[in-house]
A and B are shown apart, each in its own frame.
Chain A
Amino acid sequence: AQSVTQLDSHVSVSEGTPVLLRCNYSSSYSPSLFWYVQHPNKGLQLLLKYTSAATLVKGINGFEAEFKKSETSFHLTKPSAHMSDAAEYFCVVRALNAGNMLTFGGGTRLMVKP
């Protein structure tokens, strides 16, 4: 079975400071990993994906994530937060041994203070 744990349900940062959203996964097969963002009453938008190529993945809006197999982590970072980054973020894993289905983390709500 595969699982995803987002270690913080809420993260609060000041505008202009770095963002770190933590994600740990378990999967007995080489997984694909994704980060999505959801603004209120909207669908999920793909930020970035890891699919066994480069371990440091760059996404949209200045976000990036690093796949660390030894730590089974896929943390999302951004050097400088903007007010528009305030949203819910989901880490997602997908693997063949799980029937190719996606498993979602519980989400992290990012708040950005002016």
Chain B
Amino acid sequence: DGGITQSPKYLFRKEGQNVTLSCEQNLNHDAMYWYRQDPGQGLRLIYYSQIVNDFQKGDIAEGYSVSREKKESFPLTVTSAQKNPTAFYLCASSIGQTNSPLHFGNGTRLTVT
């Protein structure tokens, strides 16, 4: 079955450490996205990529970095510069056209202590 796989489901890190969240899709989608979700809030866009080797900052990119070396993969690194990294992170992909919906992974819950 086609879909988006995020791993791990739960991640625990000490403050000051960088951590990388994995996102892989086999839907052959061009566009991929990273969102952050905090309790009781909607989704906020961190980074997005519309094509391989290209990506753009979203609304809350500070303290995060991404790469898009392969169409299938869009890993997100949460750096030590991110002041409040504890959150639920969602990866998504889409064909990229206006009327195409996003397909979401099941998320990674990151806890930094």
Contacts and interface: CB of A to CB of B under 8 A. Distances in A.
Interface stretch (A15-23, A61-69, A70-78, A99-107): A99-107
Contacts of A9: 40
B6 to A, nearest CB: 8
Given A100-B96, A105-B42, A42 B101 contact: no
Contacts of A51: 99
Nearest to B90: A43
A34 interface: yes
Nearest to A51: B99
A2 B104 CA distance: 22
Interface in A60-114: 90, 94-96, 100-102, 104-107
A76 to B, nearest CB: 15
B98 interface: yes
Contacts of B90: 43-44
B102 interface: yes
B11 interface: no
A107 B40 CA distance: 8
Interface residues of B, number: 23
Contacts of A43: 4, 6, 90, 92, 104-107
Interface string B6-30: 1000000000000000000000000
B101 A106 contact: no
Contacts of A12: none
A46 B104 CA distance: 9
Nearest to A49: B101
Nearest to A48: B101
A90 B43 contact: yes
Given A42-B106, A45-B104, A90 B42 contact: yes
Interface of B: 4, 6, 40-43, 45, 48, 88, 90, 92, 96-99, 101-107, 109
Interface of A: 9, 32, 34, 36, 41-46, 49, 51-52, 90, 94-96, 100-102, 104-107
